[in-house]
Chains A and B, each alone.
Chain A
Amino acid sequence: MPIKSYLAYPKEGWGELLAEKLAALPGCSVEPAENRELLILITDTPEEASDQALEQRLLAIPELDGLALVAAYAEEEIG
């Protein structure tokens, strides 16, 4: 599932650090909201295995309170 978008919710007060941590992960780009504790995360990974590995790393970030998948495109759809 190589391209996905998520809404990422930081633990209260940890938005900036979460944005930094997410942006440092391979294949991730982040757009923090300017007026809410909420980020948009776009992930772009080469194939399913790396996507799953990335998801595990995301879920392990302590500043992350919740992650909601909004859209996802599989490799077949991109090709």
Chain B
Amino acid sequence: MTRREALRSMAAAAAVTAASQLAPGVAFAAGTPKTLSAEGLTWKKTPCRFCGTGCGLLIGIKDNRAVAVKGDPASAVNKGLCCVKGYHSVIALYGKDRLTRAYVRNNGQLIPVPIGEALDLVASKLKETIDKHGKNAAGIYGSGQWTIPDGYVASKLFKGAIGTNNVEANARLCMASAVTGFMTTFGLDEPMGCYEDIDHADVFVLWGNNMAEMHPVLFSRMLDRRLRNAHVKIVDLATRWTRTSMAADRSILFQPNADLALANAIAYEMIRNQWIHRTFLDRHVSFHEGKTNIGYGTQDKFQFTDENRNITFNEYVKRLEEYTPDKVEKISGVPARDIRYLASLYGDPGKKVVSYWCMGMNQHVRGTWIQNLVYNLHLLTGKISQPGNGPFSLTGQPSACGTVREAGTLTHRLPHGDVTNEADRKMAARIWGVPVENIQPKPGLHTVEMFRALDRGDLRFLWIQVTNPMVTMPKLKRYREGARKEGRFVVVSDVYPTPTTDIADVILPSAMWIEREGMFGNSERRTQHWEQMLKPPGDAMSDTWQLIEVARRMGLGKHFNWTYENHIPEIWKEYTSFHHDPKHEMATYQALRENPGVMWPCPGGRETKWRYNARYDPAAKSVNGDPIDFYGKPDRRAWIWFRPWEPAAEEPDAEFPFWLNTGRVVEHWHTGSMTRRIPILHKAVPNAYVELHPMDARKLGIRNGDRVRLTSRRGALTLPAQIDGRGRPQEGHVFVPFFDEAILINELTLDAFCPISKQPDYKKCAVQVERA
């Protein structure tokens, strides 16, 4: 089969899959089109490498080359479906400028060197930094695209063997607020439900979540549910009109940060109408409040610790009186009747409701609060932990859950529990074979503070793997200039040159996705394994193996005493020994090899689809026939937090009169370093642009395609205008996608973050807009 024939097969396979989704039961002659004959191909399973949905793919391999992709019909996630990124994913392996050699900076120039030499240098610089400046002058910054073994080994090396908690991941920028939301309300991280909720729900409320572009496969499943069940409704709550709004039954636009007020108003209205589940509240919920006016973290070394005050139901209701629909209409711009409509959906005992969100609620200066407030709506009505009822935080990256949240690669986390907890440190020390004193009891630097420390000179050595912070950090200029300062040593492991490799002292070429063995964990607690299918090009090496090679060169090899052949199963065995517990039991290596994915907890090999419900979750205890048991908190209750509305860190004013919102497009994965090397995706959206409302465009004399200058207090940028393209911001707002390294929108954004989660808010800052 020639490559051309293989691509014809791939295109045909994509069409067959799309047809069977649009017209279930559709049949073609001899089962599939003739063009699909795939002679000589070996098909192997893997999760998709893009996005937290975690679609199962089948990759057609021939002669050490990936030549075809199809959705895996056996995968419970996507049931054979795929989006445009999934179908074209293997093409990202073969970009012409793929990094296949290591580089070392010499007199300002990056010079190719054998990878062994580069690894020697990384190990010696890391040792030298620790000797001269102390352990906490070194750190590693990874990713929700790290495989679980990558993240586990990074954490073991830095937190256990070296003894610094400076381990962070870009998931801090993408889902840290979801973690703190879950922890503060339920005491345990990650959603209680699963994607199967889509097959049972009557109402879907999307909170600032453009699923049509960001989670297109789940969105298709939702549309399919509605197509077959006319009563099903989709409500899109957003600050910008998108493809999701177009497909929704109702699109409701609100002003930035006003989602806090909106959620409280829905709660107020439900209580006023007695649309709440009193028995559920009495048995399973307690009421709390924390600090207010909590700041925005824009200054270096910002510290914040929340406090918990127990309150009564009546005190909670009293505090909600500030949030009547009429008052909130003024804050949010949402008509009071729409707020009442939302309350009637959540409050109708006959309707099953799922709330979905992703970056809109996570990248938020009150990210933890808004998660608490949406949980409140499900807790007030008891619509949680059952098929078709529940709040569900979607993740952006393929293993933000698996690697960052579960394996514990944020600074305060361990593979089980937190560094601040003595029992958790002891467990880690025992499993890792290190003295417990090695594991520091205080968290190290969170992401924004890590780059601030690099700028200040408190951090001297930073190893960056699978992520591109020189495109994604907010207030980018400061952090780029900081990373370039004298006396900093930056190592970057990646598959293509990026603005981040531009600042590197050493570049290590990484094996990508199916060129090595690995596991990812998706949004619904599903762990998925793939085997190594291809030989990596040139000197490229997996990030896991790079870390092990450096550990060995530092004399720490005894902690990583595995062979190349067995290291992944051995790492999995060691990692899962942290989780022999019915609340978190992970699948065995064998089960992962044999299945398209397994959801944890899976004690005895049985997956748990709905946590905290004894009908589905063996860790939950039923009391007098009531199956709900929120066992994550010591009082075995979920916590309803009263959280007020507070404004964003920066709001439009006379000088900077527009809101700037940033985000993604379906064709591109994050900073575009891979998808911009897939010609069809690059051609579809070749550059970033600024979306404007047509009225604003008219007032400013801007037409489609005109050059527009955006200026914030931090920087300026010129880019083409898009008016009524795929999205339409509200009047007084603009939107810019961040995938384009030639148009770095993060030069303008603000590094304000949620004081609890430390996740920056990329959705709200103030800019000037003018025709360039």
Contacts and interface: CB of A to CB of B under 8 A. Distances in A.
A3 B11 CA distance: 7
Interface string A29-64: 101111110101110100000000000000000000
A6 B16 CA distance: 10
14 contacts: A1-B680, A3-B4, A3-B8, A3-B11, A31-B12, A31-B29, A33-B23, A34-B28, A41-B15, A72-B11, A73-B11, A73-B679, A73-B680, A77-B680
Contacts of B110: none
B26 A36 contact: yes
Nearest to A33: B26
Contacts, number: 93
B14 A5 contact: yes
Given A3-B4, A31-B33, A44-B8, A70 B15 contact: yes
Interface of B: 3-4, 7-8, 10-12, 14-16, 18-19, 22-23, 25-29, 33-35, 84, 87-88, 91, 678-680, 683
Contact of B7 (A32, A38, A73): A73
Nearest to B17: A70
Interface string A1-38: 10111110000000000000000000001011111101
A13 to B, nearest CB: 17
A63 B27 CA distance: 22
Given A5-B14, A34-B28, A36-B26, A77 B91 contact: yes
Contacts of A36: 19, 23, 26
Nearest to A8: B15
Contacts of A4: 11
SS class of chain B's interface: helix, strand, loop or mixed? helix
Q: Which 4 A-B pairs have the closest CB atoms?
A: A5-B11, A31-B33, A71-B14, A74-B679
Given A7-B19, A33-B26, A40 B12 contact: yes
Interface of A: 1, 3-7, 29, 31-36, 38, 40-42, 44, 68, 70-74, 76-79
Given A31-B33, A33-B26, 11 more contacts: A3-B4, A7-B15, A7-B18, A7-B22, A33-B23, A33-B28, A34-B28, A38-B19, A70-B14, A71-B680, A78-B4
Contacts of A74: 679-680, 683
Contacts of B12: 5, 31, 40, 42
Contacts of B87: 70-71
Contacts of B10: 71, 73
Contacts of A29: 35
A40 to B, nearest CB: 4
Contacts of A5: 11-12, 14-15
A38 B27 CA distance: 10
A39 to B, nearest CB: 9
Residue from B8, B16, B87 whose CB has the most chain A CB atoms within 10 Å: B8
A40 B15 contact: yes
Contacts of B18: 7, 68, 70
A63 B29 CA distance: 22
Contacts of B15: 5-7, 40-42, 70-71
B25 A35 contact: yes
Nearest to B32: A31
B419 to A, nearest CB: 46
Contacts of B28: 31-34, 40
A77 B66 CA distance: 12
Contacts of B19: 7, 33, 36, 38, 40
A65 to B, nearest CB: 14
